[in-house]
Structure 1
Amino acid sequence: MRDWDRPTWLAGREAVSSAGARRQYCSAVADEGALSALDDETLRQSRTGPAIVLVEPQLGENIGMVARAMANFGLGDLRLVNPRDGWPSEKARAAASRSDHVIDAVRLFATVEEATADLNFVMATTARARDSFKPVRGPEEAAVDLRRRSAEGQGTGILFGRERWGLTNEEVGLADEIVTFPVDPQFASLNIAQAVLLMSYAYQAAGRGGDLSPRFEAKLPEPATKDDLFRLFHHLEASLERAGYFFPEPKREVMTQNLRTMLTKANLSEPEVHTLRGVIKAFDYEAAQLRKKLGDAS
């Protein structure tokens, strides 16, 4: 019996009927040899990571976004089981945002069994507890295990279910283990591309030995010299003195120290110091012009 999330019995029967028609179509395509076979080099590269198996995906846009998520993290083996709207899909290619190498290498299958036949180890994603004695992993733990198995030469894969109701119990039963995400149980539904993105990221992170530092760093300018900073202090304090800022007089020392501490903590670069001095100079000029106008008026 299928384990639906939300469908009615009518929707379930319609889904089964349409799925049967799609299986016939996919089998016919396979028999005609029209499936896109991967060349040896592409197959070798894609097998360095798990195959992503989408079971009866509904929207071409979602398939494209899955391909994009895979490409972001170096995965390339995308397998489709009975896509609702057929294959190929221009909507999928458009949503893939230039990850054409993943779209071009997509392989089509009629059943989950066929899609995973060449794999040694398969995980099934689900947000629901199942009546199963299979081990349940989080994405990080699952990714580490997938990495280990890939390094040993095993073919691995991850099953992702339909957008509306996920995988059936029978399909989960074909997997070796279950992987689930630590989502809010009150809102556990993930878009299929989001789920693939999370697993793809976890897989790449597992290969970096826990090093999640950015792949590039901003080139920060060196701090200004103390001489530049002292000149800024004097420039600012002289300007504030003319403006009557240091009042009352007994608080001058504390106010001065507060200003200097603030500017020192900012760790200003030389260009930043020059910018601030330019701002002070502009204020001084406007203040002088105003004083001149007031003097002429009097």
Structure 2
Amino acid sequence: MTGRNGGADLAPPAPFDPVVILVRPQLAENIGTTARAMANGGLFHLRLVAPRDGWPQPRAWYASSGADRILEEATVFETVDDAIADLHRVFATCPRPRHIIKPVMTARGAAAELRATSSRKLKSGILFGPERAGLDNEDMARADTLIRYPLNPRFMSLNLAQAVLVMAYEWYLTEDTVPEQYLMTNETHVATKGEVENFMTHLLRDLDECGFLHHEQKRPGMIRNLRHLFARGEITEQELRTLHGVVSELSRARKIRHTK
């Protein structure tokens, strides 16, 4: 599907530039204007999580003002977990974070972090929530860092494309500025969100078996707290393998005790 003018001649995408992830977007026009905002700031990778009206939607192309290639290359996922599984860092826009223990950055600070992550050849993404309500607690539990724009506290309302444009603009300004900081991983690598989620599945299964999560009302909050803990920093694949071994050994020891 292409726009009426064939689209702008956008530069080939850089593989480690940030991914813009729209979670449950509701209007095709907002997806189109998001692509336009991304093109303004030199971003290319667009992912859609469970768009309300399906995909593709012709009205998105009409609203994109020629950012056709971004829409043509956009990928669709059923869940946030699927959309971030291959990423190493995940940021989430959040106007009013409540009851969450996570680092919170301005758009400018987050853009600098995104540029540093890209320079290290790690993949990152930014979650943007549905137009009406924004990201929910389960969505934000998947992110390691929240982004809050320093706007007029009496009126902080942005539409979806405006929110994306702020980040795209700040990203574009960081092109020549890379913080001199990196994580030495030696022979391992920073774990992807998919690897972390695999460990979480292992951990939660054993916690269910031992009865730690037996309280039905408290269970969702306890699981979110565990997700926040493991999403807060850059955990390595080697560290996850060690934790897998710890959980497996604890489970084995518990079963041995029960059989005696």
TM-score class, shorter-chain normalisation, is 0.5 to 0.7
- State the match for 1:47 in structure 2: 15
Question: How many angstroms apart in 2 are the aligned matches of 1:48 and 1:68?
Answer: 20
Residue 276 of structure 1 is matched in structure 2 by none
How far did residue 136 of structure 1 move?
0.3
Aligned AA (1:66): T
Counterpart residue number, 1:98: 66
Distance in 2 between residues matched to 1:160 and 1:64, nearest whole Å = 14
1:121 matched to 2:80? The reply is no
CA distance, structure 2, for counterparts of residue 151 and residue 196 of structure 1: 21
Once residues 103 and 201 of structure 1 are traced to their aligned partners in structure 2, the CA distance between those partners, rounded to angstroms, is: 19
**Which SS does the other structure have where 1:147 is aligned?**
helix
Matches within 5 A, 1:170-209: 170-209=138-177
> TM-score, normalising length from structure 2?
0.62
1:130 maps to amino acid: R
- Considering Cα pairs closer than 8 Å and 6+ residues apart, tell me whether 1 or 2 has the greater RCO: 2
Q: Secondary structure at the match of 2:81?
A: helix
The separation in 2 between residues aligned to 1:155 and 1:209, in whole angstroms, is 18
Q: C-alpha separation between the residues in 1 aligned to 2:98 and 2:87?
A: 23
Distance 2:13 2:48 in 1: 19
Preserved CA contact (<8 Å) 1:130 1:169: no
In 2: Cα distance, 1:189 partner to 1:111 partner: 26
TM-superposed CA distance for 1:46, in Å, is 4.3
Residues 38, 165 of structure 2: 8 Å contact kept:
yes
User: CA, structure 1 residues 64+106, in 2 after alignment: closer, same or farther (shift >3 Å)?
Assistant: same
Correspondence for 1:73? 41
Matches within 5 A, 1:1-298: 45-209=13-177
Unaligned runs of 5+ in 1: 1-41, 211-298
Gaps of 5+ in 2: 1-9, 179-260
CA distance in 2, matches of 1:202, 1:73: 8
Alignment deviations for residues 188-230 of structure 1 (CA, whole Å, 9 cap, x no partner): 22101000000001011011349xxxxxxxxxxxxxxxxxxxx
Distance (whole Å) between structure 2 residues aligned to residue 203 and residue 47 of structure 1: 15
- Contact 1:134–1:177, Cα closer than 8 Å, also in 2: yes
TM-score, normalised by the number of residues in structure 1? 0.55
Larger Rg: 1
Q: CA RMSD of the aligned region, Å?
A: 1.8
Amino acid in the other structure paired with 1:138: T
Whole-angstrom distance in 1 between the partners of 2:98 and 2:30: 26
**Is the Cα–Cα contact under 8 Å of residues 16 and 122 in structure 2 kept in the other structure?**
no
1:104 positional shift:
0.4
